[in-house]
Structure 1
Amino acid sequence: MIVKTRKYKLENSTYIKLAMKHLLRTQWYWAAVPLGIIILNVILNLTGVYPNIWIYFMAPLAIVLYLLFWAIQFTGVTQLEQNKVLFQKLLYEIDGRQILIKLNSKEGMQMKWEMIKKAYKEKDHFLLVVSKAQFIHLPYSIFNSENDIKFTESLLRRKNLIA
């Protein structure tokens, strides 16, 4: 069976939001390091060994700067010429061998399932992760029927991309 979707255009703001959400989901431990430093500093302050207050401002600032860095990177991806195809209206054909990503009936590319690193099933979309900054966003609204959504989900499960 082949699932054919309607044409869909990924908006820049949606891409940035999804990329930041994926970053937080996969790299949450970067926030744990400054929080651990703050806890260590509280212990040192309570014992009187090394009293200071600057760490309470610098550690959260480090987290904010790290997130800001990635937000700028993901915003830059939306502006690059080689990534413009990600933000055009695309049609998807999904089957057990590959995902065909079509710009029109004559232009497109195939993506093998091996290229997909991880997939997430959210309440209103599938998110297929190709790399840290490249995704295939498949909202349920582009599928023609509920059976297409169920078939896509079963394919993702069969390929061990979602649990």
Structure 2
Amino acid sequence: MAQGSNPLAIRTKKYQLDKNMYTRMALGQVWRKDWWYALIPLVLLLLPAVFSFSWWWVAFAVIVTLLFVLLRSAQVMSVTQVEQGSPLFEKLTYEVDQRQIILKRNEREGMTLNWDMIQKAQKTEDSYMLWLQPPSDAQMPGGWKGWLARTFQVPVFINMPFRIFNSPNDLKLMESLLRRKNLLA
């Protein structure tokens, strides 16, 4: 950690994001945004059936569409399995202040997230979800691999349930901080 912790920071209790909860939330987010991608192989492979109907075309279109849905879902679910995603699922405490969010494993080990690394915040009925910025174009590969990486990104977020905050005042401070940073509408 580059900077020391602020004595006025909002400190939370330890919390570990469940992998199944992450998967459920991330899949919901992906399919709410990208549902129409599943229609592309369905429509393209049903076009020949319009001109020369055969159940083979219909079956092939449905199978390819199901394969696409399964592969896209597996891509989202793989975040829970790879080593780079493991910090998301460790038991952490959070210290939030004006400059940064510190994710701490213990008193000596932690990671700092600057506020510019957060794309947006969302308040659900029982938590704050802080969505991390996707990689910039300079960090993406070039050519068709870059297009593929941009098109099929997996959402990465930090879930902070209200129950991990130590007091209702901390919740109010967190909400006002998110509003000041223009992350929460």
TM-score, length of structure 2 as denominator length = 0.70
Q: 1:1-163 alignment to 2 at 5 Å?
A: 1-31=8-38, 33=40, 61=63, 63-130=65-132, 131=134, 132-163=154-185
**What secondary structure, in the 3-state scheme, does the structure 1 residue paired with 2:160 have?**
strand
Q: Which moved more, 1:28-37 or 1:139-148?
A: 28-37
Q: 1:122 & 1:159 partners in 2: Cα distance?
A: 18
C-alpha deviation, 1:30, in angstroms:
2.4
TM-score, length of structure 1 as denominator length = 0.78
| Identity fraction in percent | 41
CA distance change for structure 1 residues 95 and 64 in 2, over 3 Å: closer, same or farther? Answer: farther
Judge conservation of contact 1:6–1:91 (CA < 8 Å) in 2.
yes
Runs of 4+ aligned structure 1 residues displaced above 6 Å come to 34-38
Q: 1:119 & 1:56 partners in 2: Cα distance?
A: 42
CA distance change for structure 1 residues 106 and 99 in 2, over 3 Å: closer, same or farther? Answer: same
Q: Which runs of 5+ in 2 are unaligned?
A: 1-7, 135-153
Q: 2:126 & 2:165 partners in 1: Cα distance?
A: 11
- What per-residue deviation string (whole Å, max 9, x for no partner) do you get for residues 62-121 of structure 1? 554333223212322212223222211000011121111101011101101111112211
CA distance change for structure 1 residues 50 and 89 in 2, over 3 Å: closer, same or farther? Answer: same
Judge conservation of contact 1:16–1:71 (CA < 8 Å) in 2.
no
Paired letter, 2:18: E
- What per-residue deviation string (whole Å, max 9, x for no partner) do you get for residues 35-76 of structure 1? 8779x97xx96xxx6656666655555554333223212322
Q: 1:59 & 1:145 partners in 2: Cα distance?
A: 54
Q: 2:171 & 2:16 partners in 1: Cα distance?
A: 18
Q: Which moved more, 1:64-73 or 1:83-92?
A: 64-73
**What secondary structure, in the 3-state scheme, does the structure 1 residue paired with 2:175 have?**
helix
Judge conservation of contact 2:38–2:68 (CA < 8 Å) in 1.
no
User: CA-atom RMSD, angstroms?
Assistant: 2.7
